[in-house]
């Protein structure tokens, strides 16, 4: 859009908002509100409504002065903060609210012609439907906006707002209606019918929703960063003050029964009321409808411009602007057609409640965006107008609390509708996945604060009795075999934490950095969506230096890493010597160590996990049993169980079986006595032959080892298990308590 086409200033924002704030609800329902809950009750509702609108006005002002607000107003702010899929979902709900509001105001406009319907009924006995007035008015509005555009609409808006202000002035100059005037205020000032407070709030809240009406003109403003904060805040504060005085004037000018029975009671109070109040009502509803019919098409055009409507051809058509004046004429046609449907239906009381819900969702979202921007502390967030984080948080919490207070049913309906729309849009725009920067900055700061908190509160004994693995695995064979990645995925799925580092051989350079970026994208894309493993790359000229760097940094959970996983291929154990050398370094750091002997043999999960223990090796035994229990938490192992094996002499068999049964029972482990097997040692067979025979079909086999196995760089421990699948050799640096 050219700069010449940006034709409006701050006054346009202010008067568009005022036209809706001083709308139909003010004339038709404020008297009803005072008569139902009393003056103090209405004061409470005005304060409650402004607990939503004032924080929202400040949030919009803040967001509008941080970066240029383009077409779509509230939609633009939400979509650029929450991302296009969430923004598109909320934007469509906002647009429907704005569009149905047009019908709501047009139908309310017909109430100004009550004298006409009464005259026809009394003199001709004909009960005319309200559509006799509402449909021609809707047609006139449509022609006005589609043919003449917002410029003509704004000229009309200034005229009707002027008439509206005159009406309010004459209302304040009016006198109380006939009756016992001295008792009016005394009877009306009391707080009554508190159980109907939120019923009344649901009826009068649309009076507050006009606060953001001017924001929708953002694409037509010369200086939106200036006009939106000043215009929106000024309109909100103006209505806040005027609402109090109007409620007071009503309470002092009529009895509660008169306020309840006559929806145009303001006409009986006002100076020249029989003429000016119907004109004011007509002006207010017409101007509100006019404001909405100018804003709605601009919201729809902005949504279509982002391709957020799940019909590609519709996006292209709706995003077009008329060349001569840059008006979103196609979007205006659709907006008018939707409004026509609801005007023809006539009664929109139920729809009005849904409108209220969607507006509250929008306002709450705007306050949440402001709060998250304060919390996220991004250096790019530098608004010239600044609200306070606690004001934005108050607005967010109040908006959603009020939704549930008004109607649980309609609140759930609003949330379900938006959830279904989001799921459809997310599926339609699959490429637009991912967090917006707002979420990322918030999560980064929250993660940092938690990490620092944990570091300050942590003591050496804090987690000793509540051990869980925080494992790190480094492998350069990621794209050749996935055994190690699967293992750390099993460990970290439910109970543990895992970091998997893909090793890139070489020195840190521009070329290896580019390679690392490509390979981490590939790794993340290949990762199962349900995986809880944190993956990354590390560039290093040797495995040893990579391990030395990695084990010194904290785990992704904030815990210190306490376990290192090595891996080699059983059929080609060329990496064993490196593993033995690196084991000594890792052991010096106090880490538990797991060495995975990877096999090409398919994993049969239902055959379970076999754990081979020795009665004198308590340290490794406890760690293996705990690891087995943790691994069974992964869905792949849901039909599996743990089997314990111990090889001993015949004399030790009974004692060892009792020890193993006691360990399982006291540790509350899901191991039944039938899965505990004590094997009498056969001198004609080696231990490895016995293990091979019993565990050749196991899904995973665990064996313990200790430092003495590595004397003289001996690799014999890992050899001789050719018939078996994956084997996990486990070394525990200290005793893990099973209790």
Question: Residue 317 above 70 pLDDT?
Answer: yes
pLDDT surpassing 90 at residue 517:
yes
Q: Is the pLDDT of residue 157 over 60?
A: yes
pLDDT-wise least confident of 39-43, 118-122, 524-528: 118-122
Give Cα separations from 373 to 437, 452, 507, 709 (angstroms). Answer: 10, 21, 39, 56
Grade residue 220 by pLDDT with cuts at 50, 70 and 90: low
Highest mean pLDDT among 67-71, 222-226, 240-244: 240-244
pLDDT per position as a tens digit, 426-474: 777 776 655 556 666 777 677 777 766 766 666 544 545 567 888 999 9
Closest CA to 137 of 276, 265, 347, 288: 288
Quote the pLDDT of residue 561.
Answer: 87
- DSSP output for 594-610: EEEEE-SSPP-GGG-EE
User: Hey, how many other C-beta atoms are within 10 angstroms of the C-beta on 198?
Assistant: 17
- At 277 the three-state DSSP class reads helix
Tell me the Cα Rg of the chain.
Answer: 36
Q: How far is it, in rounded angstroms, from Cα 723 to Cα 725?
A: 7
The CA distance from 610 to 620, in Å, is 14
Average pLDDT, the chain: 81
Over range 652-660, report the average pLDDT.
Answer: 84
Q: What integer pLDDT is reported at residue 350 of this predicted model?
A: 60
Higher pLDDT, 377 or 125: 125
Give me the mean pLDDT over the 405-412 stretch.
82
Residue (of 629, 441, 454, 701) closest to 556 by Cα position? 454
Query: What percentage of the chain carries pLDDT values higher than 70?
Result: 86
Identify the three-state secondary structure at position 83.
coil
Tokens of 425: 């849009």
Q: pLDDT tier at 2 (50, 70, 90 boundaries)? A: very low
How far is Cα 490 from Cα 627, in angstroms, rounded to an integer? 10
Which has more confidence, 156 or 575?
575
In this prediction, residue 433 carries a pLDDT of 58
Assign 398 a pLDDT band (cuts: 50, 70, 90): very high
Query: Are the CB atoms for 73 and 218 separated by under 8 Å?
Result: yes
Which residues share a beta bridge with 57? none
What pLDDT score was predicted for residue 739? 63
Q: pLDDT (tens digit, 9 = 90+) per residue, 587-629?
A: 888 899 999 999 999 999 999 999 998 877 778 888 998 899 8
Q: How high is the pLDDT of residue 513?
A: 93
Q: What is the pLDDT of residues 705-716, one digit of tens each?
A: 888 776 666 778
Which tokens belong to 181?
């005037």
Cα 480 from Cα 483, distance rounded (Å): 10
Give the pairing of strands 592-598 and 727-731.
antiparallel
Least confident of 35-49, 631-645, 646-660: 646-660
Alpha helices (H) along 527-575: 543-550
What's residue 473's pLDDT?
Answer: 93
In the predicted structure, residue 16 carries a pLDDT above the cut 90? no
**Would you call 715 exposed, middle or buried from its count of C-beta atoms within 10 A (0-12, 13-18, 19+)?**
middle
pLDDT at 460: 46
Strand partners, 594: 565, 730
Report the C-alpha gap between 550 and 472 in whole angstroms.
Answer: 8
123 membership: H or E segment, kind and range: helix 114-124
- How many helices (H) and strands (E) the chain has is answered by 26, 10
pLDDT of residue 43: 92
SS3 category, 114 = helix
Phi-psi domain of 38 (left: phi exceeds 0; alpha: psi -120 through 50; beta: other): left
Q: Choose between 229 and 380: higher pLDDT.
A: 229
Nearest-angstrom CA–CA distance, 52 and 42: 16
H/E segment holding residue 159: helix 149-172
308 within 8 A of 425, measured Cβ to Cβ: yes
Cβ 554 vs Cβ 532: under 8 Å: no
Lowest mean pLDDT among 18-22, 150-154, 243-247, 454-458: 150-154
Which two structure tokens, joined as six digits, stand for 544?
Answer: 């040893």
Residue 664 has pLDDT above 80, yes or no: no
- For residue 16, give the nearest of 202, 239, 327 by alpha carbon: 239
CA distances from 241 to 43, 47, 247, 354, 387 (A): 11, 10, 10, 27, 21
- Pair of tokens at residue 499: 């970091």
Flag the least confident range among 51-65, 102-116, 551-565.
102-116
CB-CB neighbours of 68 under 10 Å: 12
Distance of CA 348 to the CA centre of its chain: 30
For residue 108, pLDDT beyond 80: no
The residue to which tokens 């046609």 are assigned: 333
Looking at residues 300-316, what average pLDDT do you find?
82
Read off the pLDDT band of 244 (50, 70, 90). very high
Tokens read off for 315: 């996006």
What's the pLDDT score for residue 702?
Answer: 95
Q: How confident is the model at residue 645 (pLDDT cuts 50, 70, 90)?
A: very high
Q: Please tell me the distance from the alpha carbon of residue 714 to that of residue 702, in angstroms, as a whole number.
A: 19
Q: What angle do CA 539, 498, 595 make, to 5 degrees?
A: 80
* Unique residue bearing structure tokens 């004692």: 655
- Please give the order of strands across the beta sheet that includes 470-475: 534-540, 497-505, 470-475, 563-569, 592-598, 727-731, 700-704, 609-613, 642-648, 676-680
Domains (range + CATH), the chain: 10-432 (1.20.1740.10), 470-731 (3.40.50)
């Amino acid at each position: 859009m050219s700069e010449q086409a940006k034709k409006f200033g701050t006054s346009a924002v202010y008067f568009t908002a005022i036209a809706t704030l001083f709308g139909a609800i003010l004339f038709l329902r404020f008297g009803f509100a005072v008569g139902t809950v009393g003056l103090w009750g209405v004061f409470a509702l005005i304060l409650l409504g402004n607990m939503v609108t004032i924080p929202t006005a400040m949030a919009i002002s803040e967001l509008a002065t941080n970066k240029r607000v383009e077409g779509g107003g509230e939609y633009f702010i939400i979509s650029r903060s929450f991302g296009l899929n969430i923004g598109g979902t909320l934007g469509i709900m906002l647009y429907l609210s704005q569009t149905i509001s047009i019908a709501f105001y047009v139908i309310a406009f017909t109430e100004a012609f009550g004298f006409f319907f009464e005259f026809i009924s009394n003199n001709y006995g004909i009960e005319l439907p309200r559509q006799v007035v509402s449909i021609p008015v809707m047609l006139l509005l449509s022609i006005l906006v589609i043919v003449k555009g917002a410029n003509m609409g704004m000229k009309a808006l200034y005229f009707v707002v002027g008439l509206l202000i005159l009406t309010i002035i004459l209302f304040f100059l009016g006198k109380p209606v006939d009756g016992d005037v001295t008792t009016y205020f005394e009877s009306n000032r009391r707080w009554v019918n508190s159980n109907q407070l939120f019923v009344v709030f649901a009826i009068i809240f649309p009076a507050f929703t006009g606060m953001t009406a001017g924001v929708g003109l953002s694409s037509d403003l010369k200086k939106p960063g200036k006009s939106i904060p000043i215009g929106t805040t000024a309109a909100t504060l103006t209505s806040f003050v005027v609402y109090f005085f109007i409620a007071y004037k009503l309470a002092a000018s009529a009895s509660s029964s008169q306020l309840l029975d006559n929806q145009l009671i303001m006409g009986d109070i006002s100076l020249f009321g029989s003429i000016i109040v119907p004109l004011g009502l007509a002006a207010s509803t017409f101007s509100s409808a006019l404001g909405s019919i100018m804003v709605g098409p601009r919201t729809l055009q902005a949504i279509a411009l982002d391709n957020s409507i799940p019909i590609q051809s519709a996006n292209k058509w709706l995003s077009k602007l008329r060349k001569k004046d840059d008006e979103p004429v196609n979007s205006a046609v659709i907006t008018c057609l939707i409004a026509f449907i609801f005007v023809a239906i006539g009664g929109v009381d139920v729809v009005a409640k849904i409108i209220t819900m969607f507006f509250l969702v929008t306002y709450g979202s705007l306050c949440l965006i402001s709060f998250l921007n304060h919390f996220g502390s991004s250096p790019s967030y530098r608004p010239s107008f600044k609200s306070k984080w606690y004001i934005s948080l108050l607005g967010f919490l109040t908006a959603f609390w009020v939704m549930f207070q008004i109607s649980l049913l309609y609140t759930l309906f609003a949330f379900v509708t938006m959830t279904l729309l989001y799921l459809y849009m997310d599926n339609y725009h699959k490429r637009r996945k991912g967090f917006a920067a707002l979420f990322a900055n918030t999560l980064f700061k929250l993660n940092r604060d938690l990490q620092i908190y944990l570091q300050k509160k942590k003591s050496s004994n804090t987690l000793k009795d509540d051990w869980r693995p925080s494992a790190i695995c480094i492998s350069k064979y990621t794209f050749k075999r996935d055994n190690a990645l699967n293992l750390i995925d099993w460990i970290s799925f439910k109970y543990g934490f895992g970091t998997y580092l893909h090793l890139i051989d070489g020195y840190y350079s521009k070329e290896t950095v580019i390679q690392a970026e490509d390979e981490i994208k590939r790794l993340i894309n290949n990762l199962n969506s349900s995986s809880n493993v944190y993956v990354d790359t590390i560039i290093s000229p040797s495995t040893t230096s990579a391990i030395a760097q990695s084990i010194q940094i904290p785990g992704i959970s904030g815990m210190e890493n306490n376990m290192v996983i090595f891996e080699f291929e059983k059929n080609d154990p060329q990496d064993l010597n490196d593993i033995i050398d690196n084991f000594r370094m890792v052991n010096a750091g106090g880490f538990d160590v797991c060495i995975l002997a990877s096999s090409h043999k398919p994993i049969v999960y239902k055959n379970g996990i076999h754990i081979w223990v020795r009665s004198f090796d308590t340290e490794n035994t406890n760690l293996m049993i705990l690891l087995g229990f943790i691994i069974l938490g992964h869905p792949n192992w849901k039909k599996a169980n743990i089997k314990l094996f111990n090889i001993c002499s015949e004399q030790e068999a009974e004692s060892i079986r009792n020890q193993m049964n006691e360990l399982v029972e006291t540790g509350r482990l899901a191991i039944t006595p039938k899965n505990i097997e004590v094997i009498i040692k056969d001198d004609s067979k080696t231990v490895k032959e016995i293990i091979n025979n019993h565990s050749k079909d196991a899904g995973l086999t665990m064996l313990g080892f200790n430092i003495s196995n590595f004397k003289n760089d001996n690799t014999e421990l890992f050899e001789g298990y050719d018939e078996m699948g994956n084997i996990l050799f486990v070394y525990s640096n200290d005793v893990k308590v099973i209790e």
